Structure 1
Amino acid sequence: MALAGGPCARLLLPRLSRQLCARRGAVHRAMAGLRRFAVEMPDHTLTHFALGSQSPGDQDPRLGALLGPPGRSYSLCVPVASGGGCGPRVRAARLHQRLLHQLRRDPFQRCQMRRLLGYAPGSQAGCVQHGFLLRDPHDDPDTRRALLGLLGTCPETLRLHLGEFEVDSQGTLRQRLWGLQEGAQVQVDCACVEPTREPLLHPMLPDLPNSVVFPDRDSARAVLEVCTSFIPEAQKVLDLIDQCPKQVQKGKFKVVAIEGLDATGKTTVTQSVSESLQAALLQSPPSCIGQWRKIFDAEPTIIRRAFYSLGNYLVASEIARESAKSPVIVDRYWHSTAAYAIATEVSGGLQYLPPAHHPVYQWPGDLLKPDQVLLLTVDPEERAQRLQGRGLEKTKEEAELEANNVFRQKVEMTYLRMENPGCHLVDASPSQETVLQTVLKLIKDAGI
């Protein structure tokens, strides 16, 4: 107690105060360029809001309903450290996934959780922060206490941004930003919440080539290099990749990739076509890494997509070898890797997808290209019946396609916007024999 009022305290407290202010200033500067947020609503639209120093005057009733009382709302964002290649992205993605698991437990189960993106106006690659918006309709102190407790569970090099929304005595909606300093939970910023204009393009678009739709082999490889210390199988995948030449050439025979959602009859069609044409039948990901799919499927998106992207390059080496001897049929290839990635990462409905002719729809320049891509389609009801009739355990993607009609539409629209090469639609609803003859005719008409 003597320290509190003695001469040592008078010397120490100003120093601690300066350190605290400096740390608060550092956090404030880090947030200064990241003052806008996009929230995905239950109707698959995005609501945007900004943080500023001035009261916006009349409050937007939509923001009041989303962030204000009754109840209490919180934002939880995972920052991505600048520099250092893709390492910070991987670390942030793993923390984000860990938080998702924690937020599905008590006391957070009573909260409404929505997807949240933090971004800056005109965001460049690497500027988007992924997070969550939690609304506790009962404003339970346990929720607030548990969220503040999460600040102390993160590594020193990766601090969370925890925002708490409240309405002040003047009726202004504010966000208080909390952080952990010297082991204590302290307020590091306070800003007014205001409506903001929706950007022309989804804020996630600049980040897609760095996180899910890798433009080349080296970009995907760099992600798995970061993972070798905690995923032993990542090194095994890299060893296989390093055995493949970077540049491969297609042989004299033609290559056809057959794509389609689960339960469109893709497996049956590819087998029948390969038998009819006496063609080699390949699959992506190839069998040499297929044994590790469950491991990578459990990882965050950036790791999972890097795994599947590298699988395409392994298949490309097989295509180059087999197409020198016979035609080649490929059961899924780059189009499915990219389509599912884009549909998953771009939050909201169809209207938020990258516009037609966006570079993200272009085939990677260093990946062997097929001569033709056929996309099998069936109506949703027929596909649901087929899934039930299969009697197999559903994959995560199958479950999402069945439960989320908007997600299915986004995957299909993304397939249709792929270019160079694009997808030729095939109605796979008729009998197997009819579909087979349709596919064979398309291949023949294309001179393959």
Structure 2
Amino acid sequence: MAFARRAPAPPLLGQFLGQLHARHGTCARAMAPPRCFALELPDCTLAHFALGADAPGLRSDPRLAALLGPPGRSYSLCVPLAAGVGCGERVRAARLTQRLLLQLRRGPFQRCRLSRLLCYCPEGPAGGAQHGFLLQDPRDGPDTRRALLQLLGQGAGAALLHLGEFQVDRHGGLWQRLWALQDGAQRQVGCARVVPAHEPALHPAVPDLPSSAVFPDRAAARDVLEACTPVIPEARAVLNLVDQCPQHVQRGKFQVIAIEGLDATGKTTVTQAVSDALKAVLLKSPPSCIGQWRKIFDDEPTIVRRAFYSLGNYIVASEIAKESVKSPVIVDRYWHSTAAYAIATEVSGGLQQLPPAHHPVYQWPEDLLKPDLVLLLTVSPEERVRRLQGRGVEKTQEEAELEGNSVFRQKVQECYRRMENPGCHVVDASPSREMVLQTVLSLIRNSGERR
């Protein structure tokens, strides 16, 4: 999980059992529309369940009883969000969810295990998947439950926080009771049985990616930062710079080469060496004009962070258009980085949960200037660790997760490999600096001859 002071993605369980602003709904009303849940397990697989009637012929997942039932007690938490809401509501819910995450890492919650939980409607429209958390207290301590109920009355928007409490009845059936703050009081607003659910063919977060992480065009990313301006002053400064860039730009007569790669693959060294060898202009994404605000947006939820990086790509595109008229251009990271990290972060689970190859989410945005060639530098995990030791460079939350989470690292690399139009040419960056440089220059020459 990659989170910080922000509030990544939207919510979950309450959307299943209640409408966003329903104050006095009965249990029957609160259970519409039916929704399912995907729980990320420690082995990076997903367990799916629903609330309500059993699905015919579907066996119960024994992992759920172990995770949700005694001897401990489990709780689900979310900030409900209706499908089809605008950017403002999505940003607000994401920031509240992130704030909730920070609270769940303090006090009596520190002894509990925290997992990602995704709520979705199998046949619903895009925009309805909600991110939240499952908190497992191995001791079933009363202080944990008390602290969770107190969260219902804390902070802005807390009236929208829904807390699910899992319990087992005397017949061994697993149930969820839903709590919410209504008219200033903690009230039970729903109850339903936990039943197994079919695993969907596509990860339930994927349909929402164009509106929450992998924006298909400049306008979609811009709308998100526009919604942030009341709470993040720097968002207006970024938008002012974006609005100074032409909507449609074209590459000049010289080559444009984007070089991608995880940290410690030699990307910085190679980009500098290549730009020197070709007498090219070296550009970076995000560009220096907004780089001063990078730490601020890195601490925001995915929807805000990715909008910032996406708009940075459009600013870089404007610079590419001007510079490629006069000389070759080398770009240190571009759209592929923005998309690969976003997909790997938002799609919970392992490699098997990623969108399949050729999915539209891997396609380059039509309104963003394309490079002639994209090179992806790779080294073995062992070589990365060796190079990272002693660097002392401050890392973003995602970069830190690359080191500690091998599954996340594999997901990022696989997303890079699935990018299309243009795809990535993989370059083994393990040999000496000189050999890697010669390989890269040879690929660039060949690409120029085919132009």
TM-score (norm 1): 0.92
Once the 2 structures are TM-superposed, how far is the Cα of residue 24 of structure 1 from its aligned partner?
Answer: 3.6
Is residue 154–residue 160 contact of structure 1 (8 Å, CA) maintained in 2?
Answer: no
Counterpart residue number, 1:434: 435
**Residue in 2 that maps onto 1:395:** 396
Q: Give the secondary structure class of the aligned counterpart of 2:416.
A: helix
Is the 1:124–1:207 contact (alpha carbons within 8 Å) kept by the matching residues of 2? no
Q: Contact 1:112–1:134 at 8 Å: present in 2 too?
A: yes
RMSD of Structure 2 on Structure 1 (CA)? 1.8
Q: Which has the larger radius of gyration?
A: 1
- Residue equivalent to 2:263: 262
**Deviation at 1:27?**
7.7
1:161 touches 1:178 (CA, 8 Å); kept in 2? Answer: yes
Counterpart of 2:153, as a letter, is: G
- What is aligned with 2:144? 143
Give the aligned partner of residue 412 of structure 1.
413
Give, in angstroms, the shift of residue 60 of structure 1: 4.1
Show the counterpart of 2:12: none
**Amino acid corresponding to residue 163 of structure 2 in structure 1:** L
TM-superposed CA distance for 1:389, in Å, is 3.8
Aligned-partner Cα distance in 1 for 2:324–2:383:
35
| Cα offset, 1:172, TM superposition | 1.1
Give the number of aligned pairs: 427
Residue 161 of structure 1 deviates from its aligned partner by 1.9
The whole-number CA distance in structure 1 between the counterparts of 2:97 and 2:281 is 41
Residues in 2 aligned to 1:269 and 1:298: alpha-carbon distance in whole angstroms: 29
Give the corresponding residue for 1:297: 298
In structure 2, relative to structure 1, the CA distance for the partners of 1:216 and 1:157 (3 Å cut) is farther
SS of the aligned residue for 1:390 comes to coil
- Give the equivalent residue in structure 2 for 1:100: 101
Question: Which residue does 2:245 correspond to in 1?
Answer: 244
Secondary structure at the aligned position of 1:447 is classed as helix
Query: Quick one: distance in 1 between partners of 2:432 and 2:224?
Result: 43
CA contact (8 A) 2:117 2:134 kept: yes
Counterpart position of 1:355: 356
In the alignment, the residues of structure 1 paired with residue 354 and residue 311 of structure 2 have an alpha-carbon distance, to the nearest angstrom, of 24
* 1:381 matched residue in structure 2: 382
Residue in structure 2 matched with residue 17 of structure 1 by the alignment: none
Displacement of 1:234 in angstroms is: 0.5
Cα deviation, residue 197, structure 1: 1.1
Give the match's secondary structure for 2:189.
strand
2:165 match: secondary structure: strand
SS of the aligned residue for 2:309 comes to helix
Question: Deviation at 1:82?
Answer: 4.6
| Corresponding residue for residue 50 of structure 1 | 50
1:324 maps onto 2:325 in alignment? yes
Q: Which runs of 5+ in 1 are unaligned?
A: 1-21
Report sequence identity in percent.
Answer: 74
Give the Cα separation in 1 of the matches to 2:364 and 2:318.
Answer: 17
The 2-side partners of 1:329 and 1:401 are apart by 25
Give the corresponding residue for 1:422. 423
- Tell me the SS of whatever aligns to 1:224: helix
Pairing 1:112-131 to 2, within 5 Å after superposition: 112-131=113-132
Distance, in Å, in 2 between the alignment partners of 1:156 and 1:97 is 13
- Whose helix fraction is larger, Structure 1's or Structure 2's? 1
Displacement, 1:284? Answer: 0.3
2: CA distance, partners of 1:240 / 1:27? 50
Q: Corresponding residue for 1:186? A: 187
Q: Is the CA contact (8 Å cut-off) linking 2:78 and 2:161 kept in structure 1?
A: yes
In structure 2, do the counterparts of structure 1 residues 70 and 209 end up closer, same or farther at CA, with 3 Å as the change threshold? same
Distance 1:265 1:115 in 2: 33
Q: Is the 8 A contact 1:248 1:368 kept in 2?
A: yes
Alpha-carbon separation, structure 2, partners of 1:51 and 1:125: 21
| Counterpart secondary structure, 2:300 | coil
Aligned residue in 1 for 2:32: 32
What one-letter code is carried by the residue in structure 2 that aligns with 1:79? Answer: P
Q: What CA distance in whole angstroms lies between the structure 2 residues aligned with 1:245 and 1:26?
A: 53
For 1:210, the equivalent position in structure 2 comes to: 211
**How far, CA to CA, are the matches of 2:376 and 2:123 in structure 1?**
35
- Give the Å deviation of 1:55: 10
Secondary structure of the 1:152 match is coil
1:338-372 CA deviation, whole Å, 9 max, x = no partner? 00110011000000000000000000000000000
Match of 1:196 in 2: 197
How many Å apart are 1:445 and its aligned residue?
A: 1.2
Q: Distance in 1 between matches of 2:184 and 2:128?
A: 27
**Partner of 2:78 in structure 1?**
77
Partner of 1:4: none
CA 1:134–1:168 in structure 2 vs 1: closer, same or farther (change >3 Å)?
same
Q: Which runs of 5+ in 2 are unaligned?
A: 1-21
DSSP-derived class of the 2:136 partner? strand
Separation in 2, partners of 1:54, 1:181: 30
**C-alpha contact 1:90 1:302 (8 A) present in aligned 2:** yes
Q: In the superposition, relative to structure 1, how do residues 272 and 203 fare at CA in structure 2: closer, same or farther (>3 Å)?
A: same
Contact 1:256/1:329 (8 A) holds in 2: yes
Q: Specify the SS of the correspondent of 1:446.
A: helix
Q: 1:138-177, aligned counterparts within 5 Å?
A: 138-156=139-157, 159-177=160-178
- SS class of match (1:193): strand
Secondary structure of the 1:250 match is: coil
Shift of residue 184, structure 1, vs aligned partner: 1.3
Going from structure 1 to structure 2, the CA distance change for 1:356 and 1:27 (only over 3 Å counts) comes to farther
Q: Distance in 2 between matches of 1:158 and 1:441?
A: 60
Q: Secondary structure at the match of 2:152?
A: helix
Post-superposition Cα deviations, 1:163-194, rounded to whole Å, max 9, x if no partner, equal 10001122211001111112111111110111
